[in-house]
A and B are shown apart, each in its own frame.
Chain A
Amino acid sequence: MKRIGEYIAGRRKQGQRILVILFLMLIWEMSARLSGVSPLLFPPLSAVLQTLFTDLSAGTLPGRLGYSLVVIAEGLGLGIAGALVLGFTGHLSSRAAGMIDTIVACMHPLPGIALLPIVILWAGTGRTAVLLIIVHSVLWPLTTSITAGIRTIPQHLYDVSRNFRLNPLQTVFHLILPGIFPHMITGMRIGWARSWRALIAAEMVFGAAGGKGGIGWYIFQKRVFMDTRGLFAGLLLIMIIGILFETYFFNLLERVTIRKWGTSR
């Protein structure tokens, strides 16, 4: 019964969200048409959607989007791996934990965009540079999450693991990784949002190397040609991708893990 209730509540929430979005779309369309502002400054939604579909079907936008998503996946992967290494090292040695804590505290407040000049100096303006910015924006918050996650695993589970003589590898896979999962997902949500922003910011500053560029580069180009519709189309796409990841990918991930285990609701 509880599940059915949750399901209905979930559906209702989704329905409400769609209604709100439709309402906002309507306001956009109407205000653009009725206000008399030049479409060059504020195009109506219908025109923006038209551009979006044209560019999507022409293949330029899917290519840009794919490029961005691949870079972000790599950055997230590297960030997760690095954060796991830092978190586990801190777990194994309290001296290292102090050091890692301090490094995270220093690096965490630095916006990726502020690092850009240095990154350009070190790595040029290509893909590596974008990747570095993404890793920077994912690594520190995720390390904080993982460290917190390791600390919240109940002491009894560690005792049980010692009791049954788990080897280090078994301890990682049967205890620590599933144990930190609620915190990991929170960290990954933050990391995803940050890296998505960092990526677009970096691309808009660097432009593209060798004709390759992502969604940020798409927006940058549209600005150069004063293609306002295209500018809005880019923004719309960024929002759509963000919502899709948030509601589908992360929610699905939670449903098959921490909500099934009852370690998070």
Chain B
Amino acid sequence: MSPFPPIEARGIDLKYGSGKTVFTSLDLILRNGEFLAVVGPSGCGKTSLLKILGGFLQPSAGYVNRNGSRINSPSPEAVMIFQEFDQLFPWKRVWENTAFPLKAGGKSGLSGLDESEKQRRVEEILREVGLFDYRSYFPHQLSGGMKQRAALARALVSRPPVLLMDEPFGSLDAQKREELQSLLLRMWREHDFSVVFVTHDITEALLLADRILVMESAVFGGNFTLMDLELPRPRDVRSEDFNRCYNQVFSKLGSEDPGQS
């Protein structure tokens, strides 16, 4: 295991083009193999933070290291999964979508795997997410939940050390969301990767994460707090500790009312 954290962000400032400051001097060290949730009201810069951590977006100040070296562009080492269902290539079947990271160029060295090993990995990951029987379907023939399963399979097929997830289950109905949450937790336990999981749903964050980064809205100064969750797994929504944590996070988020600003 690398002596460096998979992601280390130092002194990150984010200003939008209009000059509006979203947050300043954010420090974040992602631990090896941890599940970190980021919660906050809409507009607090959660998604932008995720994009900065992934190298998709340059911060106004500060830097991001991955495994000890500076990044300024996305890489297959930290794979992003979006909320929207249009992240699969519509013209590729589930199998080709999933196999794609193994064929794409890049420095991950995976394009050098021999063909049978690639096939084996794709089949394995598709079975794990329960889509092997749907391997020859096109994305438009899948339900929303299945599309997100496919996105998860594609993200994990190259065994990246970091997964960056932007409200991946936000557009699913309650039942599908629970299914996908437990699938994600199972994959996370069985494979060795860290997760940064953005959500606006406190319960979801408490169900999944080891640590929570709470971001306040910019109108309150854009403060942020890192909280370790000492809750035992599997998490129980009805337990007293869960409730206590919920209230703690809730109070940190402050009022939804922007007030006199």
Binding site for B on A (CB under 8 A): 154, 156-157, 159-167, 170, 174-175, 178, 181, 257, 260-263
Instruction: Specify which of B73, B89, B91, B138 lies most central, judged by the most chain A CB atoms within 10 Å of its CB.
Output: B91
Using an 8 Å CB-CB cutoff, how does the interface string of B85-124 with A read, 1 for contact, 0 for none? 0110111100000001100111110000000000000000
A262 lies within 8 A of B141 (CB):
yes
Q: Is B130 an interface residue (CB 8 A)?
A: no
**A166/B91 contact (C-beta < 8 A), A156-B82, A261-B140 known:** no
Q: Bound state CA distance, A154 and B84, in angstroms?
A: 10
Within residues 136 to 186 of chain B, which ones have a CB less than 8 A from any CB in chain A?
138-141
Residues of chain B lying within 8 A (CB to CB) of residue A160: 80, 87, 89
Asked whether B90 lies within 8 Å of A166 as measured between CB atoms, the reply is: no
For A174, what are the chain B residues with a Cβ–Cβ distance below 8 Å?
A: 89, 92, 100, 104
Q: Which residues of B contact A (CB under 8 A)?
A: 54, 56, 73-76, 79-80, 82, 84, 86-87, 89-92, 100-101, 104-108, 138-141
* Contact assessment for A165 and B107 in the assembled complex, using a CB-CB cutoff below 8 Å: yes
Q: What residues on A are CB-neighbors of B107 within 8 Å? A: 165
The interface residues of chain A lying within 8 Å CB-to-CB of B73 are: 162
Which chain B residues lie closer than 8 Å to A156 at the CB level?
82, 84, 86-87
A154 touches B76 (CB 8 A): no
Q: How far is the CB of A205 from chain B (nearest CB, A)?
A: 43
Residue of B79, B86, B106 touching A154 (CB-CB under 8 A) = B86
Q: Are B82 and A165 in contact (CB under 8 A)?
A: no
Task: For residue A162, give the distance in angstroms from its CB to the closest CB of chain B.
Answer: 5
Contacting residues, chain B, for A260 (C-beta < 8 A): 138
Given the known interface contacts A156-B82, A162-B74, A163-B76, the answer about A178 and B91 at a Cβ–Cβ threshold of 8 Å is: yes
Rounded to whole Å, the gap between the CB of A245 and the closest CB of chain B is 24
Query: Are the C-beta atoms of B90 and A165 separated by less than 8 Å?
Result: no
Question: Whose C-beta in chain A lies nearest to the C-beta of B160?
Answer: A163
CB distance from B49 to the nearest CB of A (A): 15
Contact A166 B89, beta carbon cutoff 8 Å = no
Q: Are A166 and B87 in contact (CB under 8 A)?
A: no
Q: Nearest CB to that of A177 among chain B residues?
A: B91
Additional 8 contacts, C-beta under 8 A, given A165-B108, A174-B92: A159-B80, A162-B74, A163-B74, A163-B75, A163-B76, A164-B76, A164-B79, A262-B90
Question: Roughly how many angstroms separate A260 CA and B141 CA in the complex, as a whole number?
Answer: 10
Chain B nearest CB, measured from A159 CB (Å): 6
Within 8 Å CB of B84, what residues of A? 154, 156
Q: Are A175 and B106 in contact (CB under 8 A)?
A: no
Instruction: List, in ascending order, chain B residues with CB within 8 A of A163's CB.
Output: 54, 56, 74-76, 79-80
**By the criterion CB–CB under 8 Å, are B56 and A165 in contact?**
no
CA gap between A3 and B175 in the complex, in Å: 30
- Taking a contact as CB atoms under 8 Å apart, the answer to whether A166 and B104 are in contact is yes
Rounded to whole angstroms, the CA-CA distance of A167 and B105 in the bound complex is 6
**Chain B, Cβ-Cβ closest to A167:** B105
Residue of A nearest to B51 (CB): A159
A71 CB to nearest chain B CB (Å)? 32
Contact A157 B138, CB 8 Å, known A163-B74, A166-B104: no
Best-surrounded residue of A156, A157, A170 (most CB of chain B within 10 A): A156
B138 touches A262 (CB 8 A): yes
A67 to B80, CA, bound (A): 53
5 closest pairs, A vs B, by CB? A262-B140, A165-B106, A164-B104, A178-B91, A167-B105
